[in-house]
Structure formats: C-alpha cells, structure tokens
Amino acid sequence: MFKAARSLTFKCVKCSKAVQVYLQKTSACSHIQPYQGLCQCGELKRHATGDKDAVQSYLESPVGAWSHHH
C-alpha cells in the first residue's frame, strides 16, 4: 500500500521561493492525494497526485469548493 507524503516542496511561480504544500484530508482512497500550501508572498500553491481526471478536477476547481466522491 502506497502512503502519500504529508508534505512536498515546490518553487513558487510568483517569487521563486520554496513553498511547502500539505496533504489535505480526503476519503480513505488512493484515487487522489490533494496538496495545498501558501507561500510567504501570499501565493496559493495547489498540487495533486493520483487519478488523472480527479487531479484535473481538483486543480481546476475554485479553492475550497472541491470534494472527492465515489
């Protein structure tokens, strides 16, 4: 069983500083692991791994409006 990392680090697209994103709560499935974090400059960074369609849905949804359903 694959266990998703609790946090990942990326380069901010706005200021190029390191921004850490944290695993968000989801249902107990392996279809998607959504991450979100806020850079020091205020830029929101979202990332997800898993099912291609679920990842696309998460990244295109308004912040706070996405939920995963089976």
Question: What pLDDT shows up at residue 25?
Answer: 78
Please tell me the pTM assigned to this model: 0.81
pLDDT value at 16 more than 90 = yes
Higher pLDDT, 2 or 52: 52
For residue 66, what are the contacts with CB-CB under 8 A and spacing of at least 6?
A: 34, 57, 58
Percent of the chain with pLDDT strictly greater than 90: 57
pLDDT digits (tens, 9 = 90+) for 31-65: 889 999 999 999 999 999 999 998 998 899 888 78
Contact 26, 68 (CB under 8 A): yes
pLDDT value at 6 more than 70 = yes
